[in-house]
Chain A
Amino acid sequence: MIQIDHISFSYPDKTIFHDFSMEIGQGERICLMGPSGTGKTTLLSLLTGHLQAESGSITGIGTCSISMVFQDDRLCKRASAVQNILFGCCRGMMPQMSFEMLQKENDRFSQMARRDRVICHLDRVDLAQAADLPAEKLSGGMKRRVCLVRAMLSESNLVILDEPFTGMDSAHKRQAIDYIDQSLCGRALLMVSHERQDADTLGARIVCLS
């Protein structure tokens, strides 16, 4: 689906990538690991097009829509959790997922149905009751879960998660991992994590950057 071919990238004081190649297949799950400063987040920015490689090419990204959990939350602080998620679904929402089918039979994609779907997803990560709280009033862990729902519910073929479990306690982290696993629906996953166990639980191929 996406081919990263012999790219090079440097910051003024440091070379991050030199002749780096990698492939992300359709529906593939990849976990990027490695010490801080080895270019994990830089690689994600190259994929989203906010940084440009000095040489080499990234093919397939133009036809690919991306949803993402950023390293920092990047939520609209005044907007509620639901609204932040709805903003992220400007392109559309992912088609019905199995667990939703059980709860809602007739989703007509009206505004109310969209809100119901968001609340249904928030409930999966134990946030349904905070749905209408503005983002600025949520704790760090709650914000991460809102970001996660935004990324998973937004229509895309590549989901990028940059350290998605930061600030979550172990119970919520387990819940979040289950949620990711169930909500991917055949999409490719590129996740940055410092824990091998996260990759193993999600059945992700590990790519180590050093």
Chain B
Amino acid sequence: MGEADQNERQRKRVSKLCRQSAKINWIEKAAAITAAFFVWGICAKLLDQKILLAGPWDVLGVLSTLIGQGFFWQTISFSLLRIALGLVLGIALGCVLAILAGLHHTVEVLLWPYVSVIKATPVASVIVLCLVWFSSSTISILISFLIVFPIVYTNVLSAIRNLDPQMEEMADVFALGFWERLLYIRLPQLESYFLAALQLSCGMAWKAGIAAEVIGIPARSIGRQLYDAKLYLATPELFAWTFVLVCLSVLFEKAILQFAKWLFALPGRSLR
């Protein structure tokens, strides 16, 4: 056990050193955010034109009014649910088709034109095209799906292509069953690719989904609120909704990533 303890201590020491050198801790983050607010406040004060640059206090004032209103939460739920639905559909279909493409080269060839077109087409063109075909209330689902799908598909397919053949050889020699191979050999190898895709997808889905709402202006959506704020030159509202969007995007990404990490850790946890 001494050897294991020593090994564990060494691992912790190295990971602590890596953390110290690579990551920004929460105190540093809080200080940086405070400084950014301070700079923002000074700029707004110097410019002194709310219509061009609303200050942090103006935005906080608008936010405190919005939070107390029912429509604020309805608006957030509308956009959040639709973007989340698009994200989930994109992840599910991206994974399923990547697995099929990884197993059968013909599927990969047949999907190649669709994936290439989706990847290459500018989001604005897709939004306008989708508005021709579908109602504006479903636009954010479609757009977030179309943004997420190629990212997840490409990453999961790369992961499948890069599965370690030596581990497969080991599984063959010891006649491992399907579930053992999947849970303990293949999934751990897919994890880093999938999490990278997920991290990228979450941010992109929010940006594209809201952009679609701004163009499609469905009722009771965040995009509609941004559009209206711009239309009536209500800059503090515009900033307040943008602030809400940034917070939602960060929380959404963190929640999804934590859930995915928890899912990937399940097989290992069940063994101990």
Interface residues of A (CB under 8 A from B): 45, 48-50, 65-68, 70, 72, 74, 76-80, 83, 87-91, 129-130, 132-134, 137-139, 141-142, 150, 154
Contacts and interface: CB of A to CB of B under 8 A. Distances in A.
Interface residues of B, number: 26
A137 B166 contact: no
Contact of B267 (A45, A50, A74, A78): A78
A152 to B, nearest CB: 12
Contacts of A66: 173
6 contacts: A48-B169, A68-B170, A70-B169, A76-B185, A134-B268, A141-B3
A50 B170 CA distance: 10
Chain B contact residues: over half helix, strand or loop, or mixed?
helix
Contacts of A138: 4, 7
Contact of B271 (A79, A89, A91, A141): A79
A132 B4 contact: no
Given A48-B169, A87-B176, A87-B180, A130 B1 contact: yes
B180 A90 contact: yes
B188 A76 contact: yes
Max count, chain A CB within 10 A of own CB: residue among B6, B7, B175, B267:
B175
Contacts of A68: 170, 173-174
B4 A133 contact: yes
A154 B174 CA distance: 8
B184 A90 contact: no
A161 B174 CA distance: 14
A207 B59 CA distance: 81
A48 B166 CA distance: 12
B29 interface: no
Nearest to A126: B3
A74 B268 contact: no
B170 A70 contact: yes
B173 A137 contact: no
Given A89-B174, A91-B174, A129-B1, 10 more contacts: A48-B172, A70-B170, A74-B169, A78-B268, A87-B174, A90-B177, A130-B1, A138-B4, A141-B3, A154-B174
Contacts of A154: 174
